[in-house]
Structure 1
Amino acid sequence: MKQYNLGFISDTDLYNHVLETVKAYSCEMDLKKFNKNLIDPVKLTFDTIVYDQSYKETIEFEVLRQLDKTNSNLIGYFHQNIFKYFSKDWQVPKKGYDIQNPKEKIFVEMKNKHNTMNSSSGAKTYMKMQGVVIADSDAQCFLVEIIAKKSQNIPWVVTIDGEKQKPIENIRRVSIDKFYEIVTKDKLAFQKLCSILPTVIKDTVDSLKTKNKENTVFEELTNLSPDLLTSLYLLSFEKYEGFKGLKF
């Protein structure tokens, strides 16, 4: 085991957490997975013609888009679950808040970007936190943003039904670097993690020694029809009137 020397997380826990993420990283795609949420062949037709590209290129972009969406969600879990390795007081419950520390009465909702919540979901989250601090004045609730506009630890002020709420000191909007500082007492903790992360990822990838996973989407689409455009429409609309046996 290499030494990563972060201090706030053991080398073994860091390695294993990154390894778990790498193993789950989505790199392959088959037709069933590709069409899990039903692709829109009309949009893909527009994309192909408007962007002046081949249907194969359009499908490749769609495959990459779907893989990226899956992996972005996975990275969210990486950020969330790493805190349970910092100390036994930090928990990642299956329900309720994303992260909590019952001993210090800290409750956390974590978002990837500062703009991922609309006003409705933001108000709902805020009111949930408001209920916590009203019930216990010692409790602290944090909205932690991984990609924030700037480093910050400020009262979270929201507008509900057109009315701007008065700041509550115990409900705060916190960037991920400041949250790491709260948890570890080291203001550079997040920077240190980011600095060593490429090394840890490479170590775990090298340890797996796996071949590139296969993308079978094109092969399976060709089995539906030799023409990719026809295959795309048959994939979604084969049971619609007039589409069975369709050829472009």
Structure 2
Amino acid sequence: MWPLAFISEEDFKNHVKLTIEKYGEKLESFDLKRFNKNIVDPVKLIFDKTVYHATWDEIISNEIFRQRDKSNNNDIGYFHQRIFQYIENCRVPENGKEGGWDVIYENENGITLPDGFIVHRIYVEMKNKHNTMNSSSAGKTFMKMQNQLLKDDDCACFLVEAIAKKSQNIKWETTVDKQKMGHKLIRRVSIDQFYALVTGQEDAFYQMCLILPQTIQSVVDTMDELNIPRDTVIEEIKSLAKELDIESEDLSIAMAVYMLGFNSYDGFSNLK
């Protein structure tokens, strides 16, 4: 029995597959050129290796993971946002359409907010994490929501956070032009509370999380074209280290790492 009442198994698996496909080039293998595309910080790598008692293999592997992870956050944002296109009464506008909102939820029977106020539409700005907006971005988002309330007196605006500090559906208060602002129809909502509101199922987000791991595995198992990265960075660094003809292996690898960022600096340039 498929456990999610608010989305079909076919739609959910399709959405997971599309999210995995968004990983795209991040699944491509890392060679030394790609690894150092934006020039890594050799001093940080050496501090990290020593302080954390890690091997060179572990530190390089962690840095590759960090670079991949930085790009993957946008793909997970895609997952959180676009799943609502499969949920009744929700739609996900194309980029730049319908005011640029991430999700719009409408219910002709009315939507009851925590304070008892009833509206028929909710416009959503979605964020992956509660601390991803600086004060300027928060101010602009709040003003966008204010303008929407002026245009539509039968709506509320939500800032929905996938990773919130806690489960909540509260009045959002922020600073705009150095003044503290707030409105009962502009709300800060954790994603579990938004799932509950649009599906009518209190633990809908929890149920989705329960089925997600096995669904991802099931989808990955069927994707023959999915790349399995074969990173060669550490092998290339060790090969460069051997060419430096330094007796200590650890120091020779450290010098090879230094060369990633400092190869034109005085002293280092002579090692080439």
TM-score bracket, normalised by the shorter chain, equals 0.7 to 0.9
Equivalent in the alignment of 2:202:
187
1:62: which partner in 2?
63
Gap change, CA 1:48 and 1:134, over 3 Å in 2: same
Distance (whole Å) between structure 1 residues aligned to residue 13 and residue 238 of structure 2: 41
C-alpha separation in 2, matches of 1:177 and 1:161: 31
Q: Which residue in the other structure is 2:145 paired with? A: 129
Aligned equivalents of 2:38, 2:104: Cα separation in 1? 33
| Change over 3 Å in CA distance of 1:230–1:24 after alignment to 2 | farther
- Name the SS for the 2:158 alignment partner: strand
More strand per residue: 1 or 2?
2
Question: Structure 2 regions of 5+ residues with no counterpart?
Answer: 108-119, 243-251
Is this contact kept in 1: 2:160–2:189, CA < 8 A? Answer: yes
Amino acid at match of 1:229: A
1:202 equivalent among 213, 217, 220:
217
Structure possessing the higher radius of gyration over alpha carbons: 2
CA contact (8 A) 1:112 1:147 kept: yes
Deviations 1:8-67 (A, max 9, x none): 212111011112223444454333332233211121122223334333332222122223
CA displacement at 1:228 relative to structure 2: 2.9
Does residue 1:97 correspond to 2:95, yes or no? no
Match of 1:146 in 2: 162
Distance, in Å, in 1 between the alignment partners of 2:18 and 2:32 is: 25
The answer to whether the 8 Å contact 2:84/2:90 transfers is: no
CA distance in 2, matches of 1:98, 1:220: 43
* Cα separation, partners in 2 of 1:32 and 1:102, compared to 1, 3 Å: farther
1:228 counterpart residue number: 253
Over 3 Å counting, the alpha-carbon distance change for 1:52 and 1:191 in structure 2 is closer
Q: Which stretch of the first structure deviates more once superposed, 89-98 or 199-208?
A: 89-98
Mapping for residues 78-89 of structure 1, pairs under 5 Å: 78-87=79-88, 89=90
Report the counterpart of residue 191 of structure 2 in structure 1. Answer: 176
Q: TM-score, normalised by structure 1?
A: 0.84
RMSD: 2.6
Q: Which runs of 5+ in 1 are unaligned?
A: none
